[in-house]
Amino acid sequence: MAAVFISYRSTDHAEAERLAVDLRGHGHQVWLDTWELRPGDSVVQKMDDGLAAAQYLVLCYSTNSTRSPWQSREWMSALHRQVSGKGVKLLPVILAGGEAPAILADIKHVDLGADWAEGVRALAAAMK
What are the residue numbers of the active site?
A: 74
User: Whose CA is closest to 95, among 2, 27, 6?
Assistant: 6
Backbone phi, psi, residue 127, to 5° = -100, 15
Q: Is 31 helix (H, G, I), strand (E, B) or coil?
A: strand
Torsion of CA 117, 121, 122, 125, to 10 degrees: 170
Q: Is 7 helix (H, G, I), strand (E, B) or coil?
A: strand
Answer yes or no: are the C-beta atoms of 112 and 93 closer than 8 Å: yes
